[in-house]
């Protein structure tokens, strides 16, 4: 079983829509959680860390559900510039720095 | 001003050749990594160095040899290149953290094509 599983999509939504991605992780000891975005032929860039109590950054909201071992990302009022692949990332609970990336969920926002 | 920079950006070479990719970070981070992203876009860790010391060595063929001359640099040398080595190689760095792992900062990638 992979460390991190994501629905690859693609998700195609109109501008202004609200879209949500989920991601499940396999190791209950995982401590660190992140969402990255990766544009086509570019490097992954940190979108936001995910905290236990959930956190928001503008139009983006991240939630963590430890009991069910999933994290989610909600994007409100989608913009064309949100089109990208969103990568779910976690660790195994050690601080060795080994982070595991999901395969990514592809989002296309159309005008 | 680039935080994590790697060179070259593109590398096209023939099977059997030996090539190197260089990476430098100016963020003052202690830990550096090499990740490989294959054609299916799956990002997988290869190596990690902390203060010049190898701490993660995933199941990677020994044709791949990382070298960290100092904590700001991590290079990757690949011997006897094979077709299956074609991928995008990302260098990354992170700071030391307590109670969890810090996020990674990636370089812009090296697109390796082996013909």
List phi, psi (to 5°) of A110.
-110, 150
Whole-number Å distance between alpha carbons of B89 and A34: 21
- Whether B97 sits inside 8 A of A34 (CB atoms) is no
pLDDT digits (tens, 9 = 90+) for A26-51: 999 898 999 999 999 999 999 999 99
Report the chain B residue with the minimal C-alpha distance to residue A40: B41
Task: Give the dihedral sign, CA B61/B88/B39/A95.
Answer: positive
Average pLDDT, chain A: 93
Pick from A32-36, A97-101, B56-60, B98-102: least confident? B98-102
DSSP assignments along A41-97, one per residue: TS-EEEEEE--TT-EEETTEEEEEETTTTEEEEEE-S--GGG-EEEEEEE--S-SS-
Per CB-CB distance under 8 Å, the chain B contacts of A85 are 41
- Whether A97 sits inside 8 A of B105 (CB atoms) is no
Percent of chain B with pLDDT over 70: 96
- Whether B90 sits inside 8 A of A44 (CB atoms) is yes
The β-bridge partners of A38 are A44, A85
A90 pLDDT exceeds 80? Answer: yes
């Amino acid at each position: 079983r992979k460390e991190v599983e994501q629905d690859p999509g693609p998700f195609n939504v109109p501008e202004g829509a609200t879209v949500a991605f989920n991601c499940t992780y396999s190791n209950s000891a995982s401590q660190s959680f992140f969402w990255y975005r990766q544009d086509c032929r570019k490097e992954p860039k940190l979108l936001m860390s995910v905290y236990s109590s959930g956190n928001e950054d503008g139009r983006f909201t991240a939630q963590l559900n430890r009991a069910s071992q999933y994290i989610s990302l909600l994007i409100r009022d989608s913009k064309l510039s949100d089109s990208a692949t969103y990568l779910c990332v976690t660790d195994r609970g050690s601080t060795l720095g080994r982070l595991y990336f999901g395969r990514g969920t592809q989002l296309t926002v159309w005008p | 001003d680039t935080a994590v920079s790697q060179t070259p950006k593109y590398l096209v070479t023939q099977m059997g050749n030996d090539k190197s990719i260089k990476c430098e970070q100016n963020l003052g981070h202690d830990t550096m990594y090499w990740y490989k992203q294959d054609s299916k876009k799956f990002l997988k860790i290869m190596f990690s160095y902390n203060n010049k010391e190898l701490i993660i060595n995933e199941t990677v063929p020994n044709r791949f040899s990382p070298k960290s001359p100092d904590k700001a640099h991590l290079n990757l040398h690949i011997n006897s290149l094979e077709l299956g080595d074609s991928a995008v190689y990302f260098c990354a760095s992170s700071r030391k953290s307590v109670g969890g792992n810090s996020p990674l900062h990636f370089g812009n990638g090296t697109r390796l094509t082996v013909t």
